[in-house]
Amino acid sequence: MAKNIIQHWDTDFLNKSPIFSDLKLLLQDVNWADWPGCSGLMALIKSPVTLASGLPLDMKPQDDSLPFPEMGYEERIFKTGIISTREQSWHDLFNAFIWILFPQTKILLNELHRQELHKQPGKKRTRTRDAITHLDESGIIIASTETELLQSLKAHQWQQAFVKNRPCWLTGVQQSTGAFVFGHGMYEKAFKPFIGFTGKAYCLTVPEDFFSLAKMEQYKVLDGLLRDDIKKHNRLTDSHFLSPLPILGVPGWYSANKDPEFYNNKDYFRPKRVK
């Protein structure tokens, strides 16, 4: 995103795209006229968050006052509990929101980063760190009670997943599938959605009663399920488990996809490559 967009606050940002609809619920009790700063973000955390190192999570401005400047970003989080945060940055603001919505999964990813840094110090990332970064920046969690629908998504059967099963995605008694933003870079790109806007889908089966829960309760349950699924199945040893997801194809996230013809653009809704 262009630097001038990052530097200026937009009081109307939650109305830029339906992709921000869940953030409206998260922020329903605040009315920020300007950047909230680390103190405003920390005020959104209702219960203390304890990292894998046993330290409480904290956010500090990424400026000359930042403690332990010699440490790398992930190392600083693990060893001190501090998430260094640029206070006038959409990217870092959205990252803070993901920490608030998915604290247990973000704690796990930080621990995995730390383990990989022990194996291979420096800026060059291992395959596991690449996979963690893909999820952290571009991940969309597709939660569903329908294993066949998840399989159709991974197989790039877009008509089956998005058109024939459209009612499954929309809020109501028929809902059995939902998309949840995990990669904070996806929120940033949602300011100006474009054909080609693609994320990394992490497909996850959820209990039958999942979509009867209130939305913020869904996040709490999903956070635990996602953390446990990553740990139990070693999902992030590489990026193989993550699959391409045309973001604007998600029902409810883009008005043009109400027309089934929208999904006939094979340059965007690409068939799966045959190996």
Q: How confident is the prediction along the chain (275 residues), in pLDDT tens digits per residue?
A: 334 345 699 999 999 999 999 999 999 999 999 999 999 999 999 999 999 999 999 999 999 999 999 999 999 999 999 999 999 999 999 999 999 999 999 999 999 999 998 887 766 779 999 999 999 999 999 999 999 999 999 999 999 999 999 999 999 999 999 999 999 999 999 999 999 999 999 999 999 999 999 999 999 999 999 999 999 999 999 999 999 999 999 999 999 999 999 999 999 999 998 76
DSSP conformation class of 200: E
d(CA 205, CA 216): 18
User: Could you say which DSSP state residue 197 is in?
Assistant: -
Cα dist from 151 to 64, 196, 201, whole Å? 48, 22, 12
pTM here?
A: 0.95
Backbone φ, ψ for residue 58 (5° rounding): -145, 155
DSSP for 107-145, written as a single string? HHHHHHHHHHHHHS-SSSPPHHHHHHHHHHHHEEEEEES
83: left (phi over 0), alpha (psi -120 to 50) or beta: beta
Q: How far from the centroid of its chain's Cα atoms is residue 196's Cα? A: 18
The strands making up 198-205's β-sheet, listed across from edge to edge, are 177-181, 139-144, 198-205, 243-246
